[in-house]
Amino acid sequence: MEKFVQLTARVCPLMLANLNTDQILPARYLKWPRSKGLGAVLFHDLRVDSDGKERKDFPLNQPLWQDASILLAGRNFGGGSSREAAVYALYDHGFRCVIAPSFGDIFAQNAVKNGLLTAIVSEADVVDMAPTVSENPQLPVTVDLERKVVVCGNRTYAFDIDPVSRNQLLNGWDDVDLTDSYKDRIAQFSADYRVRRPWVIPAKS
């Protein structure tokens, strides 16, 4: 997994609350293999109107924000469906960090497994940051995971992230490798566990 320590990039403001994973990646694109690259259909139905034309008022359609790597969003970003492909779509489009007041639990877990930082900033700070980045689309903003701060213009905002996720991002850990180091313990635990709970093994139908 790619590490995340610090990033300086443009911020695309998408000031909507409850941007659930159905909005991030509509279900009909879930069939796509990762190799196809899901960035092209990120936020598809918000970006494009029913006639297939790009909506001019959608921030991600603005040329200056097309290569933004940081997304600023409203509360409860990524709620809903567990589809990890929503994270792939953000990542494939070039996003490495989403700043929002809160995130869907499963989305946040999926994000960290793919090197996408979910930075929790208070609602007031998000509202404060939004005009700065809207009015200065080219402004480079720095997200520092070690210090847990976002430096935006002349202000520094603290952000929160679950310590487990922070560890994993800073170190670029691979979960499977880590788990493998406990192989013997797992085997012992599960043997012991199943002796005490014979009913956990499915009965023959």
Query: Which positions lie near another protein, rule CB under 8 A?
Result: 17-18, 20, 22-23, 26-28, 30-31, 33-34, 45, 50, 74-76, 79-85, 87, 102-106, 109-110, 113-114, 162-164, 167, 171, 173-182, 185-186, 189-190, 193, 196-203, 205
Q: Which two tokens stand for residue 98?
A: 């989403």
Cα-Cα end-to-end distance for the chain:
41
**CA–CA separation, 203 and 205 (whole Å):** 6
**CA–CA separation, 87 and 37 (whole Å):** 12
**Dihedral (CA of 13, 18, 20, 26) sign:** negative
Helix (H, G, I), strand (E, B) or coil at 153: coil
Pairing of strands 117-120, 141-144: unpaired
Chain Cα centroid distance, residue 37: 16
Residues near 120 by beta carbon (within 8 Å), at least 6 away in sequence:
100, 101, 102, 103, 159, 160, 161
